[in-house]
Structure 1
Amino acid sequence: MTEVIQELEAQFEETSEPLKKVCIVISKGSLEGIYPGLIMANGARMEGIEADVFFTFFGLDAIRKGRNAKIKVATVGNPGMHMPTLLGAIPGMSALATRMMKRQMEKLDIPPVPEFVELVSDSGAGLYACKATVDMFGLDKDSFVPQVDDIITVGEFYERAAGAEIVFT
């Protein structure tokens, strides 16, 4: 059995190509919804992998002026919190969970969302807002931080994503 596994691993190594491009979709507007995409985009750029980030629905908060510094942890209906929804709905729970998570991120030297967006952009990743969502929420280019490259349609996103791995966070 071990020989079969080793043979399969050898075949995989011969046929697999290194990842060249990723396109990451961020659709959630909470800390636990935004950070994974930013971390993955940053990690890709640090490995020399081309990266684009497409922000849609509440994920737009990560790149919206006046909102990106106020992102919170979602405590209501979040199974990862391992607490009843009723407990998560108690006033102040979201703020408490957010403070705790931000403290942990500071210990790990993970920057706040606005700084992280700037870092990812400076690394060469493309940052794009979803046109349908922008129109639905009545926003425009001035609603976003200057690091946003453009507001694009889903079709344009797919054009940019040609040959890339698409990751939905």
Structure 2
Amino acid sequence: MNLQDAWAVLDTVPDPEVPVLSLRELGIVREVVVRGDAVEVVLTPTYSGCPATEVIAQSVLDAFTAAGCSAVSVTHRRAPAWTTDWISESGREKLRAYGIAPPGPVAGGAQPATQALRLHPRSVPCPRCGSAATERLSAFGSTACKALYRCTACREPFEHFKPL
């Protein structure tokens, strides 16, 4: 398997929590190394306690096995920490189409550990109607990396992928 084929396999592996995104679009695939018949995939979890980390690694192994490559390994690289800035533009568009407001850029390029706590959450445009008239209902959505919002224009609830 060559490097281009390996990246193509990774384009088919969906994120288990937001299945409209591939792992590559989510930005957690940091590196792919091909040495002869062996492939090493380097992943950076979205956060260190992400419960999907093991499922993601197994999905990668399964995808390569299905593509005819049995000599594959997955390595986790936790530094630098993943940031939502690594989500691709196509990934952001797919989030919006799926009904999740994509994150904006991390303020000033700051890493998550140095960001200021927001007592008043930023305005998040509705992914359904585009209105900026939204309100945060909960700091946490279906996962810790998302917050629950409601649009006061179209009245639809939606999740917002928090910028990290």
TM range (shorter): under 0.3
Q: Indicate the structure whose relative CO is greater, using CA pairs within 8 Å and at least 6 residues apart.
A: 1
TM-score (ref. length: structure 2): 0.26
Determine which structure has the larger strand proportion and give its number: 2
TM-score (ref. length: structure 1): 0.26
Bigger Rg over Cα: 1
